[in-house]
Amino acid sequence: MIGTFEFPYTVKSSDIDELNHAGNYHYLRWAQDAAVAHSSANGWSPLKYQALESGWVARAHKITYLKPAYECDALTIKTWVSAMKSATSLRHYEIINASGEMLAKVETRWAFINFKTQKPTRIPHKVAKCFKLVEY
């Protein structure tokens, strides 16, 4: 069980916008990629959620942009889960460059849903127990 997970990412040319830095929406994609990698590292890959016929969908995101990211920047996206309720969890992210500068902070409220009904459902114990909660 991994509490805080570090996901490496190198900024690609396709991430760069007309202002010559990474476009804002890419930060959200990097955060989601880090969340999927963290879940997979804790034993819950997308395929395993499909077999369970339930899994996570984003309910809300909060992003605070602090500094830009540029092409070829080596980033680390740190992520952890700080709270888990019956059908939701709160996940945090810090996007940091190779110099240790914080580029952005992100929070996502995730809801656990049944894929067939598209409605919230209880997070199964076998899922919840795989995520060590980390205080923020």
Q: Where along the chain do its domains lie? A: 5-128
pTM over 0.85: yes
pLDDT of 99 strictly over 80: yes
Residue 136 has pLDDT above 80, yes or no: no
Are the CB atoms for 134 and 81 separated by under 8 Å?
A: yes
User: How far apart (Å, rounded) are the C-alpha atoms in residues 124 and 126?
Assistant: 5
Question: How confident is the model at residue 82, as a pLDDT?
Answer: 98
**CATH superfamily assigned to domain 5-128:** Hotdog Thioesterase (3.10.129.10)
Beta-carbon contacts of 4 under 8 Å, excluding residues fewer than 6 positions away, are: 78, 79, 80, 134
Query: The tokens of 36 are what?
Result: 């999927």
